[in-house]
Structure 1
Amino acid sequence: MNTHYRALLGLGLPIVIGQIGVIVLGFADTIMVGHHSSVELAAASFVNNMFNLAIIFSTGFAYGLTPVVGRLFGEKKTFETGQVLKNSLLANTVLAALVCALLLALYLNLDRLGQPDELIPYMRPYFMVLFVSLPFVLWFNAFKQFSDGITDTKVSMWILLGGNLLNIIGNYILIYGKLGLPEMGLTGAGLSTLISRILMVVAYVVLFFFTNRYRHFRKGFSTGKINRADFTLLNRLGWPIAAQMGMETASFSLSAIMVGWLGSTELATYQVMIAVSQICFMMYYGMGAAVSVRISNFLGQRDFYNVNRTANTGFHIILVMIICTSVPIYLLRHHIGGWFTDDASVSLMVAQVIVPFLLYQFGDGLQINFANALRGIADVRPMMLFSFIAYFVISLPLGYIFGFTLNWGITGIWMAFPFGLTSAGIMYYLRFRYKVKTLGNARY
């Protein structure tokens, strides 16, 4: 068992550190925009939630590559591993075109979604800059899932940290108009994000094609063919994961629309809480990704006993992470809002919303761990149904009931999330337990 803890920590900590870089970026974005203008903070809240839905949906699709690469790597098939990366880049390009088409339709209807009128002039330019950056997110995801799948998690860590550091520096320069550049506010934050996303893809391209690190896989990429078998497999695995993650994120993004009905102060509060929630989500997900990679490696070796042990060990580690994040967040609940904005009403509202946020941490950790465990064994289709039940049948209706029918406002909307996330976690756990039992070689 100790071997599993050491292996998961060794594999997962670089992913977690890379995710912390994303967290720091989210904090920096929100703090800089919030102190520049609370109106821009509210506008960023809405746009970011819409793009988070698109990005996490697309990231879920890219996760379909991880079990494929992990299994091939476990079987030491380097040519096939390089070839499947080539097919994954094509699949992600097709998905980028589809997602961009949907986002363009959303952009054309921004003024029809019931958001405060004063926010629309800030939303439109910021939306379009992030729109241009989206294909680079998908290409980066393909390279990242490839390197993670072959257990080379440190590469994505360093690229994420470097890209996010550049993004933060760019934010400061472009938001506030430093180094002789014009003060661009929220649009400047978007431009900084676009530049950093382009450079992160360039970094992966240089590493893959011009260094010795991935030379064993380049032949498969260069001479391997775009083929229906790989393309179909990646879509068969990727779409259910994208749907599962997309529905989870949609429960937050659609809740942001409901929060917008309450007013700009509530929407600014929601953006602060999303930034806080990403601390926990990204850290747990980093360890969950390691669980998926390690399980897929054991699946390639047909070692189902260690498939099961890896999932259990991963959840133990995530439980410790839950405690380590929840305690300081609770103790600092009256101070967190002030880090992001000078608006006292936003700070007070943040302190109230912290309590329902902490209530769903166990459920969030449970669903992250066992969703990734199911991805590791490539059992992804049932998660679509479980996610629909958890987020669209349970969470979103409860959010409306608590927030508007019972008049609990933004606190009521957040109170629905513990029900959705915990129910999803229980369903994923029961499915994984059943599936591993049917595969045999597992002990409970």
Structure 2
Amino acid sequence: MEENKTKKLTLFALTWPIFIEVLLHMLMGNADTLMLSQYSDDSVAAVGVANQILQMLIVMFGFIATGTTILVAQYLGAKDRHSASEVTVISIVANLIFSLGISIFIYFTSSKMLLMMNLPPELLSEADFYLKLVGVFSFVQALIMTIGATIRSYGFTKDTMYVTIGMNILNVIGNYLFIFGPFGIPVLGVDGVAISTVVSRSLGLLVMVYLLFRRIEEPLPFRKVFSLPFSHLKNLLKIGVPSAGEHIAWNGAQMVITYFIVMLGTEALTTRVYAQNLIMFIMLFAIAIGQGTQILIGHQIGAKQIELAYKRCMKSLRLGIVLAFSAAIVFYLLSDSLLSLFTNNPDVIAVGGTLLLLSVLLEPGRAFNLVVINSLRATGDVKFPVYMAILSMWGLQLPIAYILGIHFELGLVGIFIAFIFDEWFRGIIMLIRWRSRVWVKYSFVNEVEEKENKQVANVM
């Protein structure tokens, strides 16, 4: 039975549900933006800044979910389902404890963080309520991420897709009720969007928990969580902390970029939100291919199929670049129509169209990073991408963004040119790293086997 399940893990079978799931996550964010744009452009800007902070903080517990995906996939590839179930339990409990701490932190510091972002005073009240409410319930998102990572690593990518569909439907219904106020329901604007987000995620979590126990045949030892091998948590952290470091470097850089854009004015901030919402759809192909490739390579590394893993990354990379470039062209050609869905401001539409033109250069470079970095993580080679992320984002992207965007007054165009430099520089370096095959020595399953072999040798 295990053998059959492993054979069913193809890139297409894993990737298309991930594609739909990520698409729906993006649609959830776009639904918030599109509906709020009918209410107020200022509300769009307020939620945009609040979400930038939330993304930065959510990364703090996303690192355990990343470690879960890789470790569970490697153990399943090695046919060690018992260790996979132990890792699942430890990751869920650890992330719950950690994310509760993050939730409390957000509640008590939300207004201070928004002020640090130099948010205009007229946007502060709405942004603060949104950040407080969604932030306090961020532990729900942490559990969804961790449980979803486990379910996907077992190959059940359709399950998490269906849950995301349900959450999207509930979120859109909630947004409609609270933004447009049918049937005499009070119009709550940003407050209503926050309530809708929290409720839809909470119901999604309940379904995720049900699926977790239904799909995993091996008993999940929650009652023995504190007596499980410490090595599992250690390996989760060895993978997750460096992976989080890369995301923190990216989100931290994005917060500084947002600060630069605030300096350009509310219109620039709104334009960036609209353009970014559309660019996320272009990124979708590379994101889904990267995540599907990560699961496949994790299984292959666990099974010690090194050559298959190497070829899988290279094939996925070629596919990701072609799809990203093609999608960017299509979105640029349709830019006026797409941006008109959000706003009728001609200046916003004009600048947004230029940003979508620049995405034709940006997104193929980003595909390098989304595919190859996920592949490196799947092997256990997690530190190198972090070092390069810090060097490139903070040493290259931010200085160029400030010089071109602020000093030479190119605005958002200058900032997007900085993104292009960063993505292509890192992407080429990551490809060189993959082709070097230095990642072969980083598998955690291989580490465990080597230690066991040494112990047996010492006993003999």
Q: Same fold (TM over 0.5)?
A: yes
1:8 corresponds in structure 2 to: 11
How many Å apart are 1:222 and its aligned residue? 5.1
Cα deviation, 1:392-424, whole Å, max 9, x if unaligned, reads 111111111111111101211122100111112
Alignment check: 8 A CA contact 2:74 2:301 kept: yes
Q: 1:125 is aligned with what amino acid?
A: F
Q: 1:30 is aligned with what amino acid?
A: T
- Mapped to 2, the partners of 1:364 and 1:57 lie a distance apart of 22
- Mapped to 1, the partners of 2:8 and 2:313 lie a distance apart of 11
Alignment check: 8 A CA contact 2:317 2:367 kept: yes
Query: How big is the alpha-carbon RMSD for the aligned residues of Structure 1 and Structure 2?
Result: 2.1
2:315 corresponds in structure 1 to: 313
Residue 241 (1) aligns with residue 243 (2): yes
- Mapped to 2, the partners of 1:77 and 1:107 lie a distance apart of 47
- Mapped to 1, the partners of 2:10 and 2:223 lie a distance apart of 32
Alignment check: 8 A CA contact 1:62 1:141 kept: yes
Aligned mate of 1:17, from 12, 15, 20:
20
- Mapped to 1, the partners of 2:96 and 2:17 lie a distance apart of 27
- Mapped to 2, the partners of 1:35 and 1:368 lie a distance apart of 33
Residue 142 (1) aligns with residue 146 (2): yes
Residue 86 (1) aligns with residue 103 (2): no
Q: 1:418 is aligned with what amino acid?
A: I
Where do residues 39-438 of structure 1 align in structure 2 (5 Å cutoff)? 39-100=42-103, 103=106, 104-209=108-213, 211=214, 213-214=215-216, 216-221=217-222, 223=224, 225-436=227-438
Structure 2 gap segments, 5+ residues each: 1-6, 443-460
Q: 1:184 is aligned with what amino acid?
A: L
How many Å apart are 1:367 and its aligned residue? 0.5
Identity across the alignment (%):
23
How many Å apart are 1:437 and its aligned residue? 7.6
Alignment check: 8 A CA contact 2:103 2:137 kept: no
1:280–1:58 CA distance, 2 compared to 1 (3 A): farther
How many Å apart are 1:227 and its aligned residue? 3.8
- Mapped to 2, the partners of 1:251 and 1:345 lie a distance apart of 26
How many Å apart are 1:429 and its aligned residue? 1.6
- Mapped to 2, the partners of 1:270 and 1:348 lie a distance apart of 12
1:357–1:219 CA distance, 2 compared to 1 (3 A): closer
1:222–1:324 CA distance, 2 compared to 1 (3 A): farther
Q: 2:290 is aligned with what amino acid?
A: G
Q: 1:71 is aligned with what amino acid?
A: Q
Q: 1:84 is aligned with what amino acid?
A: V
- Mapped to 2, the partners of 1:414 and 1:102 lie a distance apart of 32
- Mapped to 2, the partners of 1:67 and 1:248 lie a distance apart of 21
Alignment check: 8 A CA contact 2:279 2:356 kept: no
Alignment check: 8 A CA contact 1:400 1:413 kept: yes
How many Å apart are 1:124 and its aligned residue? 1.1
Q: 1:353 is aligned with what amino acid?
A: L
Alignment check: 8 A CA contact 2:285 2:324 kept: no
Task: Give runs of ≥4 in structure 1 deviating > 6 Å.
Answer: none
1:360–1:392 CA distance, 2 compared to 1 (3 A): same
3-state SS of the aligned residue for 1:206?
helix
1:175–1:206 CA distance, 2 compared to 1 (3 A): same
1:430–1:111 CA distance, 2 compared to 1 (3 A): same
1:5–1:206 CA distance, 2 compared to 1 (3 A): closer
- Mapped to 1, the partners of 2:76 and 2:413 lie a distance apart of 46
How many Å apart are 1:372 and its aligned residue? 0.5
1:95–1:396 CA distance, 2 compared to 1 (3 A): farther
Alignment check: 8 A CA contact 1:208 1:218 kept: no
- Mapped to 1, the partners of 2:312 and 2:233 lie a distance apart of 29
2:35 corresponds in structure 1 to: 32
How many Å apart are 1:294 and its aligned residue? 0.5
Alignment check: 8 A CA contact 1:363 1:418 kept: yes
Alignment check: 8 A CA contact 1:335 1:347 kept: no
Q: 1:356 is aligned with what amino acid?
A: L
- Mapped to 2, the partners of 1:107 and 1:258 lie a distance apart of 19
1:39–1:437 CA distance, 2 compared to 1 (3 A): closer
How many Å apart are 1:139 and its aligned residue? 0.5
Q: 1:9 is aligned with what amino acid?
A: F
Cα deviation, 1:284-316, whole Å, max 9, x if unaligned, reads 212101111100101111110001011011112
Q: 1:70 is aligned with what amino acid?
A: A
Query: TM-score normalized by structure 2?
Result: 0.89
